Amino acid sequence: MAVDNAPEPVEDYALPVSELIEDYAQEHVSTVYVFDLAEQVGFGQRTLASAKENGPAVVSLQTRAGAGLSIVGRLSEGTSAQTAGGAVLAAYTTPTGLARMAPALAHLPPASPASRLVVHAAAATPAADTLALSPSLAPLALAWPLLPQALVVLLSATPQEALEFSRIAHALPQHVVHVFDHYAGAREQLPAADTRAPQSDGSTLPAPFAYTGPAAPGAVLVLLNGPLALAAAALAPPGVGVLAVRVLRPWDAAALRAALPPSAATVHVFDDVPAPGTHGALFADALGALAGTGPRVVAHRITPAQTQAFFAAPSALRDALQALAPATPNEQVTPTEQTPTPLDAPHLKKLLFFSTPSAPLASLPAYIAQRFRAKNVLAARLLRAHDALSRAGGLTADRLLLAPPGDAAAAALPLPLVLPLGGEGEGKGEGASDFLCVLEPALLKTHALLAHAKRGSSVLVFAPWTPAETLAHLPAPTKALIVARALHLYVFHPDPADSRFARGALPQVLGYLAFLQLYLGAAATPALVASTAAALLGDTIEGVGMKELGAHAWARLEAVEVVEEEAAEAPKAAPPALKGFEFNAVVPAAYAKEDAGAGARLGTWHDAAKHLLWADAFAPPPLPAADEAEEEYPQDPALRPELPERTYLVTTAVNRRLTPAEYDRNVFHLEFATAGTGLRYAVGEALGVHGWNDADEVLGFCKWYGADPERVITAPLGAGAGGRMHARTVFQVLQQQADLFGRPPRTFYAELAAHATSSYERHALLFIGSAEGASTFKKLAEVDTVNYVDVLRAHPSARPSVEVLAALVGDIKPRHYSIASAQSVVGDRVDLLVVTVDWVTPSGKPPLSPSPPSLSFARADLIVSPGSPRYGQCTRYLAGLKPGQQVTVSLKPSVMKLPPSAAQPLIMAGLGTGAAPFRAFLQHRAHTHTRAHGQGLVHYYFGSRHQASEYLYGEEIEAYVADGTIAKAGLAFSRDGREKVYIQHRMREDAEALVRMLHDEQGVFYLCGPTWPVPDIYKALVEALVKYKGFTPEGAGEYLEGLKEEERYVLEVY
C-alpha cells in the first residue's frame, strides 16, 4: 500500500536546548529579564517573541555599569501584591554580562521559595578584536570572588546536562547562576526522547565534580565544566584524568578531595583568564582544598585566544595535554606515535554543509538529521553556526555527526572539536569532514570551503551547472586542493525543464537522495537508494513515487573530474585570497543592522571625519617596501584601495570623435597624460578603465529608492588590509563602485528574495534564481538585458538597506581596451580607440514587469519601456570625458605581442576599433624602420562599413604606406560598393604573398575585432596553404593550429 508522506517540518521536530531552557523558565518564574548581550547571541529571542498576556512579564535590559540593580531592587522591595504572586525572577545574559552584574548581585537579599533569582548565562562571548565567538569564561575571572557565597553557581557542558541543570536551578530554593555552553552544546537540537525529566529529583545539587579517565592516573586536570573540559577528556593522554567542576559555588573542598584519585601526584588547574598575567579563582580554590594533602598543584592560565586555537586545531590541544602527561619509564610518546582518540573512531561519520541563510536548501542538514533520528537508525547531532561578516547576507556552516544509537563516548564529544572550522581554512590542516556539501555554489568563488574536507572524501555541490561548467567555476586554488587531497567532487543539477520536481518539499527530498547515494558509497544502486529512502520517507512524496524520484536524483548527480593543471604564469595582480569561515553569529541577522555587507555600515559625515582625524587607524596599508623601492612612482594607497590590482590616476588630454556627427556609430579617440604616474606599458597591452555610472541616473535612483546620497558608507578594504576601513558617500559608492546598471547574475535574484516582504515577489525572485528558472533568467539577461535597477524596480517590496544593496550588487569591473599607442613613440601618454555601445530593449513590455495588476510601479518614468535606450557603462563614461578629468586605470597583459625578431613579417587584420593594437604596432615599426634594416614586411588589412565615415586613422595609414612601413594595405569598406567586400576577400587577393610570409618567413598573423569573420578568414588561409604550399585541407588546419601554439596565429576577438 503506497503512503504519501510529506516531510515533517524540520523546525517542529526538535528545538535547540537553549530554547528549551527558555520555555522551562517561562513556566516557573514571574518575570524574565533579557539582557541585550544574551539577545545578541540568540538567547532570549524566543522569550521576547512569544511573550503572552497570561505568561510571565518579559523585560529587555541593557548591559551597562550597575546592570542587575533593578533586579536586586525588585527582590528587595517587592510590593505585597508582587510577593503574593511570586517574585521568582529569571535573567538571561552572557559571561560578560554576568561580570557586569556581579557587584549588584552582592546585594541580593536572602532567597526564599517565593523570592529568588535564577540567572542563565549563555557562554558564547565575542572576542574583542575579531568578534568571533568563544566558549571562554575569561570575562568572569575577576567576577567570581565578587559573587555572594550564598549564590549557587552551576556549570553544564553537554546538551542533556544543560537541560537538567536548568531544571535543578529552578527547583532549588536558593539564588542560582547557571552557566551553560552556548558556543556548541546548548545550541544542539535535542530529540523529544532526550528531553525527559532529569535524573535527579531537582531539589538537590548535582554532584559537584565529575571525573573522567583512568582509575589510577598520575596527573589530573581540573577545569570548569564546559566544552574545554569535554575536549580535554577526549584528548587526554594515557595516565591523565580530567576532573570537571560542575558546582563552583558553594565550593566543596571535601568533595574535591574525595573525587580526586589517590594516585594523582600532580593536579593541573586550568583557569579561563582574559590575559596571561591574571590570576584565576579556581586555582585558589583548588590550592586551598589540596594544600598539605600530597599532590602538587600547578596553575595554568588559558586566554580566549588559546581556547579558540584549541578548537580550531585540536592537534594543538592534544600536544599541550601530552606535555602534561606523567613520564613513563622506558617509554616516550611522540606526537606522531600518539594513540587514536575518540575523534578518530571509524564508526563516526562527520558531515559538513555550507550554505547561506537564504539558500533554498539551507534546511537540508536538519532534514537529513531528522530522517536518521525518526527511525532511530543513527544518533544524529546537528550544530549550526553563522559567519555574518565575511559575506553580505551571511554564511552558514552545519556540522552533522552520525554515530550508532547509544554511543555515550560520541555523545560527549564537543562538535566544534570533532569538526573544527579554523586551521584548515588557512591551509594548516588536512580537513576533518568525511563528507562536505556546498548548498550555495556562489560560495566556491569566495571561500576556501573545501579546505575542511578530509583526504579522499566526497564533496557534493548543488548548482545549476554541468560538470564542465562546475569545473570552470572553481578557483585555481580549489582545483589544486582537490587534486592534492584526492577529493571526489560531484555536482547535483536538477533538470530546469521538469517543473514536477520543483514543487513543495521535492527539492529537499531530491537533495536527500543525492546525499544518500554518496553516503551508501560503492554499494549504491538506483534500487538500493530508492528502497532505503522509501523505508525512511515513504513510498510517495507529493504524489511522486520514490522510484521515480530516486531515478531522477541518480541521473542528475554527476562526477566532476579535476586533473592537475600545468603551472601558469602568475598574474601581475593576484586574485583575492579565498576566505575562511569564522563563527561570529548564532543567528543569521546578528550583525545585519550594523555590519551588513560583509562589515559595511551606513553612517553620517562623522565617519568620514574620523578617517581624517585618525588617519593612521583608517588609512589603507602602504605597499611593501620592496615594491616601493622598485618604483619611482609607487602606488597611491588612497586610490581605489579596495581593488587588488595596481592602479594609476591619468588625466584626459584629448577626446576626439573620429566619425561624423551624423553617423550612427560614435567612434572616438582618447589620449591620457601619464606623466608622474609611473604608468609603463608594452606594445599590445590593454588598459583597464575603472568607469563610473552616470551621475544623473544615480541621483534619480537614490530619489526613487529613498536613499540619502550624502550619507556615508564605511566598509572594510578586504583581505590583506588588516581590518582597515574606508568611507564614501552613498552617491560615491553607487556612482564609482557599485555596478548598479550592470547585468545581475542568477544568484542576485535568490539573495534579493530574502529582502522581499511580498510573498509573490519573493517567490518570483526565488524562481528566477533557481535552476528551474534558467530559461526565464536567460531571456531576462540576453533578450531584455535587464540590469540591477530594473530588478529592484520590478520588485519594490525588496528593499535592502543601501549598504547591503551595494554589497549584493558587487563592484564595477574594469573594462579593458587595447592600447592604441606605443610608449616608445608617444612618451608619457596612452591612447585608446573606443566605440560607444548602445542598443534599445527589444521586448514588447518592460523587463520584469510584474504579472498581478496590483503590483505596479510608483512612477511610470522609472519603467524601462519598449524601445528604451541602453548604454554600455564604460563606453558611455569615456565618451563623456572632458580634458582635465582624471580617470583610474590599470594594466592587463594581452596576447597581442610583437614577435621576438624584427625580421619576422607581420600580417594584421583589424575590423573597426580592432585597429587599436595595430596602430601601436605600426607606430613602433615606423619608429624602428628609420633606424634598422632587414625588418620583415607588414601587411595591414582593415575593414569597416564606409571609407568616408569610418576609415579609422586613415591619414596615418596612408603615410605608413608612403614611407614603406606598410608594404601592402588591404582596405575593405563593405557598404561602399555594389557588392559587399570584406577583409577576407582582400586576403584572398594576396593569398600567395600571405602564405609565403607565414610559412617561409616565420611571419605572424593577428586578427582583432568581432568574432563573426573568424571562420571566413580561417577558410581563406586554409585555401591559400592548399593552393600554394601543397597542404591538404586537414593538414592546413593542423598547421594553423600549430601556429597558435607558437603564438604566430593570434586572435583577439569579442
Cβ-based neighbours of 697, under 8 Å, separated by 6 or more: 741
The Cα–Cα gap between 1013 and 1018 comes to: 9
Work out how many domains the chain is built from and give that number. Answer: 4
What CATH number does residue 953 fall under?
A: 3.40.50.80
pLDDT given for residue 545 in this prediction: 83
For 407-424, give the secondary structure using H, E and C: CHHHHCCCHHHHCCCCHH
The Cα–Cα gap between 34 and 32 comes to: 6
| Assigned domain for 579 exists | no
| Element (DSSP H or E) covering residue 715 | strand 712-716
What CATH number does residue 277 fall under?
A: 3.40.50.920
Report the b/e string of 742-770 with b at 16+ CB within 10 A: bebebbbbbbbbbbbebeebbebbbbbbb
The Cα–Cα gap between 591 and 797 comes to: 22
pLDDT given for residue 246 in this prediction: 97
Q: Are residues 374 and 488 in the same domain?
A: yes
| Assigned domain for 1047 exists | yes
Round the average pLDDT of the chain to a whole number and report it.
Answer: 83
Q: Are residues 321 and 359 in the same domain?
A: no
C-beta separation of 729 from 613 below 8 A: no
What is the band of 595 on the pLDDT scale with cuts at 50, 70, 90? Answer: very low
Q: Are residues 38 and 173 in the same domain?
A: yes
Burial of 471 (C-beta count, 10 Å sphere; 0-12/13-18/19+): middle
Give the tens place of pLDDT for each residue, 828-842: 999 999 998 877 766
Report the b/e string of 576-598 with b at 16+ CB within 10 A: eebbbbbbbbbbbebbbeebbbb
Comparing 68 with 844, the larger pLDDT belongs to 68
What is the band of 497 on the pLDDT scale with cuts at 50, 70, 90? Answer: low
pLDDT at 932 over 60: no
The Cα–Cα gap between 503 and 494 comes to: 12
Comparing 629 with 141, the larger pLDDT belongs to 141
Q: Are residues 317 and 347 in the same domain?
A: no
Three-state secondary-structure class, residue 517: helix
- Of 302, 327, 352, the position where a domain reaches its end is 327
Beta strands 209-212 and 247-249 are unpaired
What CATH number does residue 520 fall under?
A: 3.40.920.10
| Assigned domain for 817 exists | no
Nearest alpha-carbon partner for 213 in 244, 184, 185: 244
pLDDT at 182 over 50: yes
C-beta separation of 830 from 679 below 8 A: yes
C-beta separation of 901 from 999 below 8 A: no
Residue type, 83: T
Measured CA angle at 595 (ends 593, 599), to 5 deg: 160
Compute CA distances 870 → 642, 706, 843, 865, whole Å. Answer: 28, 24, 13, 11
Q: Are residues 271 and 362 in the same domain?
A: no
Strand-by-strand arrangement of the 219-224 sheet: 209-212, 240-245, 219-224, 266-272, 296-302
Q: Are residues 269 and 380 in the same domain?
A: no
pLDDT given for residue 652 in this prediction: 95
For 918-965, give the secondary structure using H, E and C: HHHHHHHHHHHHCCCCCCCCEEEEEEECCHHHHCCCHHHHHHHHHHCC
Residue bearing cell 575590423: 911
The Cα–Cα gap between 967 and 925 comes to: 12
C-beta separation of 649 from 675 below 8 A: no
Residue type, 497: A
Compute CA distances 982 → 582, 665, 835, 949, whole Å. Answer: 59, 19, 20, 16
Nearest alpha-carbon partner for 1028 in 1003, 1053, 993: 993
Q: What sections of 45-189 are H helices per DSSP?
A: 45-49, 69-76, 80-85, 95-105, 159-171
Phi and psi, residue 86, nearest 5°: 95, 125
pLDDT given for residue 572 in this prediction: 55
Three-state secondary-structure class, residue 662: coil
Range of the domain at 216: 209-327
Three-state secondary-structure class, residue 327: coil
- Count other Cβ atoms within 10 Å, centred on residue 83: 13
The Cα–Cα gap between 952 and 971 comes to: 11
The Cα–Cα gap between 460 and 489 comes to: 6
Q: Are residues 175 and 293 in the same domain?
A: no
What is the band of 694 on the pLDDT scale with cuts at 50, 70, 90? Answer: very high
What CATH number does residue 126 fall under?
A: 3.40.50.970
| Assigned domain for 452 exists | yes
317-323 contacts at long range (C-beta below 8 A, 24 or more positions apart): 317/231, 317/232, 317/235, 317/417, 318/235, 318/237, 321/221, 321/232, 321/235, 321/236, 321/237, 321/240, 322/237
C-beta separation of 649 from 887 below 8 A: yes
Beta strands 189-190 and 1004-1009 are unpaired
Give the tens place of pLDDT for each residue, 434-444: 999 999 998 99
Three-state secondary-structure class, residue 500: helix
The Cα–Cα gap between 404 and 376 comes to: 9
Nearest alpha-carbon partner for 287 in 278, 279, 297: 297
Cβ-based neighbours of 333, under 8 Å, separated by 6 or more: 237, 238, 322, 325
pLDDT given for residue 848 in this prediction: 45
| Assigned domain for 28 exists | yes
C-beta separation of 165 from 21 below 8 A: no
The Cα–Cα gap between 741 and 657 comes to: 25
**DSSP string of 422-446, one letter each residue:** SGGGGTSS---EEEEEES-GGGGGT
Q: Are residues 283 and 423 in the same domain?
A: no
Beta bridge partners of 59: 33
Comparing 610-624, 771-785, 885-899, the range with the smallest average pLDDT is 610-624
| Assigned domain for 863 exists | no
Q: What percent of the chain is helix, strand and coil (3-state, nearest 5)?
A: 40, 20, 40
pLDDT given for residue 819 in this prediction: 95
Comparing 464-473, 566-575, 739-748, the range with the smallest average pLDDT is 566-575
For helices 802-809 and 746-753, angle between their N-to-C axes, nearest 10 degrees:
160
The Cα–Cα gap between 756 and 754 comes to: 6
The model's pTM is: 0.61
Comparing 784 with 722, the larger pLDDT belongs to 784
Give the tens place of pLDDT for each residue, 847-902: 444 433 333 322 223 334 445 677 788 999 999 999 999 999 999 888 888 998 88
Beta strands 209-212 and 240-245 are antiparallel
| Assigned domain for 616 exists | no
What is the band of 498 on the pLDDT scale with cuts at 50, 70, 90? Answer: low
Q: Is the peptide bond before 250 cis (omega within 30 degrees of 0)?
A: yes
Q: Are residues 123 and 248 in the same domain?
A: no
| Assigned domain for 854 exists | no
Q: What sections of 244-363 are H helices per DSSP?
A: 253-259, 281-290, 304-312, 314-322
Give the tens place of pLDDT for each residue, 795-827: 999 999 888 898 888 888 899 999 999 999 999
Give the tens place of pLDDT for each residue, 531-580: 888 887 888 877 788 888 888 888 889 999 998 776 655 555 566 788 88
- Of 167, 194, 221, the position where a domain reaches its end is 194
Residue type, 376: N
Give the tens place of pLDDT for each residue, 317-350: 999 999 998 766 544 444 444 567 788 788 899 9
Q: Are residues 50 and 175 in the same domain?
A: yes
Beta strands 686-689 and 815-818 are antiparallel
For 563-585, give the secondary structure using H, E and C: CCCCCCCCCCCCCCCCECCCCCE
Residue type, 184: A
pLDDT given for residue 204 in this prediction: 83
Q: Are residues 429 and 546 in the same domain?
A: yes
Three-state secondary-structure class, residue 833: strand
Q: Could you list the beta-strand ranges (E) of 597-696.
A: 601-603, 648-657, 667-673, 686-689
Nearest alpha-carbon partner for 733 in 786, 799, 809: 809
- Of 545, 560, 575, the position where a domain reaches its end is 560
Give the tens place of pLDDT for each residue, 942-1000: 999 999 999 999 999 999 999 889 999 999 998 888 888 999 999 999 999 999 999 99
Q: Are residues 248 and 143 in the same domain?
A: no
Comparing 346 with 299, the larger pLDDT belongs to 299
Q: State the cell numbers at 435.
A: 563528507
pLDDT given for residue 860 in this prediction: 29
pLDDT at 175 over 50: yes
Beta strands 31-35 and 87-93 are parallel
The Cα–Cα gap between 1033 and 1030 comes to: 9
